Amino acid sequence: MARWTQAALLLMCFCAGSCEDALPEFATETVINTVVQDSQTGRVYLGAVNAVYQLDSALVQERVTITGPKRDSRQCTPPISQTCADPKLTDNVNKLLLVHEANGSLVVCGSLFKGLCSLLNLSNIDEQVYYNDAKGEKTYVASIEETVSVVGVMSTFPKNGEQLSVFLVGKGYGSQDSAKLVSTRILQDYRDWVVFENIVEASAVQANPFVLKFLHNFRHAFKDDGFVYFLFSRTRGGTDNKNFTFVSRLCEGDPHYYSYTELQLNCGPGNAYNKVRSAYVASPGEELAQPHRRGDARTRLVQGQGAVPRTRSCSPC
């Protein structure tokens, strides 16, 4: 299941005394799939169905850009031309938003046109900074299937003494998508590479049979201390279909993903909370850090569990 959360976003408010003022709130007409904040400006961007919103830090709308529906067909290769047999008006599920600070742009990947991405101006998302639908399969990033979840994180990739801007993507299996579970997407043209092309070939996490069998459901991606982490659930590839939650890790800038490792997270008695729904990275408070203290207090992953009212914590140990 994709993250079909309600189409409303609440901003947490920490008040010294009583919290009588209403929390800022912003509602959209369509479902919100993904949210990202620019830490420099405080702006919040919402990836909804057929629209991307630009809000200020108090959740007041600055801009909205309409990204769908558009004429598309799963069978056709973009750009959709006269030769495409039966294009239909298709919703654009905006699945992935990332702030590309160095470029002043927002990376936006939707479900239209094989999951192509574009770059929009961070201070005015109506202005398209980059879009090219003619570069072929290597530039398809997200999934055309509404329910396939996609997560990503900005990073850099060392090449010939340069640090190239890239983003890493974790994506579940969609029957008509590329079969890459994890990919590294470049954000500039560089030699033979074009913007959004996958620049790492690593069979261990990109092979078709592997992805199909395990029903990966990505929930979160983040960076910490030179590593990139993905949080997801998947089955063990057997027939029972039971899901387990994993955190996987690889070194930032590992050009072959040789450092890729996975660790299962068991939550609750008998692993009752076996499927991760959402996650947030925070520093542990004193109590949470206590049983796991090993020298310094480290970043702790907090794993939210769907309908369970109180947040539970998981730690890889």
- Binding residues for ligand NAG, per CB under 6 A? 103-105, 119, 121, 123-124, 127, 129-130, 187-188, 195, 215, 217, 235, 241-243
Any idea what DSSP says for residue 204?
Answer: G
The distance of closest approach from Cβ of residue 199 to ligand NAG in the complex, given in angstroms and rounded to an integer, is 14
- For the sheet containing 105-109, what is the strand order? 96-100, 105-109, 117-121, 124-130
The distance of closest approach from Cβ of residue 48 to ligand NAG in the complex, given in angstroms and rounded to an integer, is 22
Instruction: Report the residue number, 198 or 243, with the smaller CB distance to ligand NAG.
Output: 243
The distance of closest approach from Cβ of residue 312 to ligand NAG in the complex, given in angstroms and rounded to an integer, is 19
Distance CA 230, CA 85 (A): 38
The distance of closest approach from Cβ of residue 254 to ligand NAG in the complex, given in angstroms and rounded to an integer, is 23
The distance of closest approach from Cβ of residue 46 to ligand NAG in the complex, given in angstroms and rounded to an integer, is 19
Instruction: Report the residue number, 130 or 210, with the smaller CB distance to ligand NAG.
Output: 130
Q: Which of 275, 317, 274 is nearest to 293 (CA)?
A: 317
Instruction: Report the residue number, 84 or 179, with the smaller CB distance to ligand NAG.
Output: 179
Instruction: Report the residue number, 71 or 236, with the smaller CB distance to ligand NAG.
Output: 236
Instruction: Report the residue number, 37 or 235, with the smaller CB distance to ligand NAG.
Output: 235
Instruction: Report the residue number, 9 or 119, with the smaller CB distance to ligand NAG.
Output: 119
Q: Which of 24, 23, 62, 70 is nearest to 46 (CA)?
A: 62
As a three-state string, the secondary structure of 137-203 is HHHCCCCCCCCCCEEEEEEEEEECCEEEEEEEEEECCCCCCCCCCEEEEECCCECCECCCCECCCCH
Instruction: Report the residue number, 28 or 113, with the smaller CB distance to ligand NAG.
Output: 113
The distance of closest approach from Cβ of residue 274 to ligand NAG in the complex, given in angstroms and rounded to an integer, is 9
Distance CA 181, CA 218 (A): 9
The distance of closest approach from Cβ of residue 15 to ligand NAG in the complex, given in angstroms and rounded to an integer, is 35
Using CA of residue 150, residue 155, residue 158, residue 162, what is the dihedral sign?
positive
Contacts of 173 (CB under 8 A, 6+ apart): 148, 179, 181, 211, 212, 214, 215, 216
